[in-house]
Amino acid sequence: MLKQMLGCCKVYISESRNKAALEVIEKAAKLYPNSPVVNKFEDEIYNRVGYTLVSEMGQNPISCSLKSCVFEMVKVAFEEIDLETHSGTHPRLGVVDHICFHSLGGISLDHVAETAKSLAADVGSKLQVATFLYGAAHHEGRSLDSIRREFGYFKPNSTGNQWTSGPRSEYLRLTPDEGPPQALQRKGVLVIGAIRWVDNYNIPIFSNDMTTVRKISRRVSGRGGGLAAVQSMALAHGNKVIEVACNLLEPSRIGGDEVQLHVERLAKEERVEVGKGYYTDLSQDILVEKYFELIRTAKDALAKVD
């Protein structure tokens, strides 16, 4: 399957229950048919939605359809969603919590990093949102989790393992790369980066014992002495379900199957039951296939109109 000059952007928005807001965001995306939303993953308990867009990038990484499309989605999201009324069991730093660019082949990581930096500059100046860069988009290659730790991202700020409202203070512990040095509580802050492909794999554990599941989660992650290139955290996911949510930083080296077996071994030691895990997005190959299908369908529809 041809992958030349294709870029991918994942946009994570802190909302899934307000369907009207999501409809407006998706309507904005449809204005850019050359950069279609290839996959959408919603989770009402987490109150979070992830959109995956794929597009041909062209030679100019700054003036491209993908950047324009994502900017319009972000703009509408800030207009339609108020972080002060938000709550969910997934952490977040802003209305648009996280945007990540990837190369799908034919272009370099540096190419999509330039797109990420240009998008951040526009969000910061035109939308007045404090924006932080990471990965190849940051001059020192700063990591996403290092930014999140500075903001206390991984610690629930409400009862029931919930995250609610916006930042508790306008004061920012880090200086934004773009935008104002303060955070508006209704908007929060935004993190934008460019990195190699990451798979997200969540494994349900049927328990309400957060202490036990956090112990398992720590032992899964590379940071906790577990699997290399795996990041994980425990997130409440409904009645008697806590998920071990994992970022697989090198999925060709350690994939979901290996993580699943490791969690099952640890859960057996703790005497808790484990369910089958799931990916929150499509594989790179399937994303590319679906992208070309969508483009062909759009061209066929246009030809019929003509």
pLDDT at 2: 45
- pLDDT tens track for 126-166: 999 999 999 999 999 999 999 999 998 999 988 889 999 87
Q: Which long-range contacts (CB under 8 A, 24 or more apart) does 209-217 make?
A: 209/242, 209/272, 210/161, 210/234, 210/236, 210/242, 212/270, 212/272, 213/242, 213/244, 213/272, 215/270, 216/244, 216/263, 216/266, 216/267, 216/270, 216/272, 217/244
- pLDDT tens track for 90-103: 999 999 999 999 99
Which member of 86, 90, 98, 237 is catalytic?
90
CA–CA distance, 304 with 306 (Å, rounded to integer): 5
Q: Which CATH class is domain 199-275?
A: alpha beta
pLDDT at 4: 74
- pLDDT tens track for 26-73: 999 999 999 999 999 999 999 999 999 999 998 888 989 999 999 999
In the chain, which residues fall in CATH 3.30.990.10?
6-196
Rounded to two decimals, the pTM is 0.95
In the chain, which residues fall in CATH 3.30.70.670?
199-275
Based on the residue annotation, tell me whether 139 is a catalytic residue of this protein. Answer: no
Indicate the CATH number for domain 6-196.
Answer: 3.30.990.10
- pLDDT tens track for 243-266: 999 999 999 999 999 999 999 999
